[in-house]
Amino acid sequence: MVPVLLAAPSSARSLPVGLMDRIPLDPTPQSLVYSGGKVPFPPAISVVGLDPADPGQEGTIETMRELLRLIPSDGGLGGGAAYRVEFRRSAAIAHPEGYALTSGPSGIEVEYATDTGQFYGAQTVYQLLAYAGAGTRFLTYSEAPEEQDAASRRYVPLVSIEDHPAYPVRSVMVDMGRAPYSMALLKRLVRIMGQLKLNTLHLHLYDDQLCSFRFARLPIGHENPLAIDAADLAELVRYARIRHVSVMPELESWGHVRSIVYHYPELRGGPGMYGGASLAMGEKTYALLEQIYDEIVPCLEDQAAVHVGLDEAVWAVLPGEQNRDETPTRMVGRIHEALMRVAARHNKRITMHLWADEGGRPVPDDIRGKVVVEPWKYLGADAPEIVRALALYGGAGKPPFMMGAGASSLAFHGTYEATRVWCTEGARYPNALGVTLCLWESNDLAGRLVTVYGGANFAWAAARARVMANDPLGERLRYRTDRDLRSWQIIFPDADPAAIDADRGPEVKTGLYVWPPLAGRPVAPTMNVPVPPER
């Protein structure tokens, strides 16, 4: 038997909810005009203007097929239904990721300039029609539809949308150095990112606890039974490109490398932070780093980014290298040189990213405009520090930088408060490339999905994202975001928590299995490496 939610006895006590308040588009469009008009939800929907032979439109076609399966509809791709969703390329759309959407009495028109703009317009069509088809399903017992007959009818609002992202890079980082991510889970995350218009998947491939990449020509990662390999990474890059997502691997090149010195103990330098290990710098270390880069870069697109870490480490040089003028600044230059050599060897154009670290990271003057530095803070309570970091790194004429936000190990169930501060305050700085929504230490994607869902709003359109009145602690916004997230998970089955967990397999946090029967056991022996005293 299907449970029935009874309405409140007195409609006078129910809060009237308008049609657009039942359609929480996420991320919020830059401009949405709704005059109050609406049409009954159509029994049949056709989708026209798409070319199955064009590889650039594959993601859009997949999105529309998923929508038609969800609704369902008697129309289809290229069908002849009276209500049509039509895609049309237009020179009038200036932004390469932008689109314009018009919902009229006989259907929806989406104009775009590029395949990416088409894909993002399709995500908005999906949400608009999926929510409209759900009708009043997501109202609570204390709410009532504003329309008198809406309890038995569904409507599509007549709206005009002009949309584009505020930031060019909207990234999600997964911590594969502390928790394995299966290929199924990574691909599911890519689909979730595409729906939320996030465009960069940042893979933190190894750390002190684990290495989740199995190198072919090096022993690194072979001890981890759940590691991915080069074929997997290349497949993930291909799969993500269909959904207009780029893959950026992070290859720790100084600190957070206990899983590397597990195989190369002679390269261990200082202890690093949080019980980890740092590399001692010298010719043997630079040679190993170049070998590491040489197995990863061929898997990437012709134009890509590689993150080299460089945070939370203790400086040391290899024995016999003390008189070669090794410094942290020179190290950054040497790492950049090695990465560029590898890129040239494989005919790739690679941009180097690195963490800013708490005290900032010195970058040689000759490459200052060629690398992207990323400061980070994860709590809304860190707002003053975020503002100071933005003032330090932001400004006309300064090098490009990213903003590190999302969920640290302290935010077990996810957070987006720091993302809100970074993105709203960062909008004034022209060299802010975008934001990374970090998911540190755990592979519990379902439990932390609010980090991605709530953060996407601010990454795309911080100035337009929802704010709540009388909300000094952010509780009302968190409640509304959680509620909208649950509704979105129902209309977008790829975000179903049970499906996410099935793809994930056992939950892991900081290299250890969380739940019985494996609770407390390490994923790989790198977890058990003793930390020697500092030299």
Same domain, 305 and 351: yes
The rounded distance, in Å, linking the Cα atoms of 278 and 535 is: 11
Question: 325's torsion region: left (phi>0), alpha (psi -120 to 50) or beta?
Answer: left
Beta strands in 141-256 (DSSP E): 143-145, 155-163, 169-175, 200-204, 246-250
Read out DSSP for 166-179? Answer: SSSEEEEEEETTTS
Same domain, 451 and 357: yes
What total number of domains does the chain contain? 2
Whether 337 is in a domain gets the answer yes
Same domain, 329 and 425: yes
Contact in structure between 199 and 169 (CB atoms under 8 Å): yes
502-527 exposure pattern, b = at least 16 Cβ within 10 A, e = fewer: ebbebbbbbbbbbeeeeeeebbbebb
Q: Which of 297, 296, 275, 280 is nearest to 220 (CA)?
A: 296
pLDDT at 359: 65
Q: Dihedral through CA 329, CA 330, CA 332, CA 335, nearest 10?
A: -170
The rounded distance, in Å, linking the Cα atoms of 178 and 55 is: 35
Partners of 102 in the β-ladder: 109, 160
Same domain, 176 and 250: yes
pLDDT at 150: 63
Q: Which of 136, 163, 190 is the last residue of a domain?
A: 163
Whether 173 is in a domain gets the answer yes
Same domain, 50 and 173: no
Domain that includes residue 191, residue range: 169-472
pLDDT at 346: 98
Helix axes 475-491, 115-134, angle to 10 degrees: 90
Judged on CB neighbours under 10 Å (0-12, 13-18, 19+), 271 is buried
Same domain, 137 and 275: no
Same domain, 158 and 178: no
Retrieve residue 169's tokens.
């890079």
Question: What CATH number corresponds to the domain at position 158?
Answer: 3.30.379.10
pLDDT at 72: 79
Q: Which of 126, 144, 163 is the last residue of a domain?
A: 163
The rounded distance, in Å, linking the Cα atoms of 458 and 446 is: 20
The full 3-state SS of 95-137, as one line of letters, equals CCCCEEEEEECCEEEEEECCHHHHHHHHHHHHHHHHHHHHCCC
Whether 153 is in a domain gets the answer yes
Whether 407 is in a domain gets the answer yes
pLDDT at 6: 41
Same domain, 228 and 359: yes
Whether 239 is in a domain gets the answer yes
Same domain, 271 and 346: yes
Contact in structure between 150 and 136 (CB atoms under 8 Å): yes
State the pTM of this model.
Answer: 0.95
CB atoms within 10 A of CB 431: 16
Whether 510 is in a domain gets the answer no
Residues 6+ apart with CB under 8 A from 530: none
Whether 529 is in a domain gets the answer no
Q: Which of 124, 146, 163 is the last residue of a domain?
A: 163
Question: What CATH number corresponds to the domain at position 453?
Answer: 3.20.20.80
Same domain, 245 and 260: yes
List Cα–Cα distances, 365 to 304, 368, 390, 470, in angstroms: 23, 5, 20, 47
Whether 245 is in a domain gets the answer yes
Same domain, 324 and 383: yes
What are the mean pLDDT values of the chain's consecutive 10-residue runs (535 residues total)? 41 79 95 94 95 97 96 84 96 97 97 98 98 93 82 88 98 98 98 98 97 98 98 98 98 96 94 86 97 98 97 92 84 97 98 86 90 95 95 94 93 91 96 98 97 96 83 88 96 98 97 97 87 51
Same domain, 184 and 278: yes
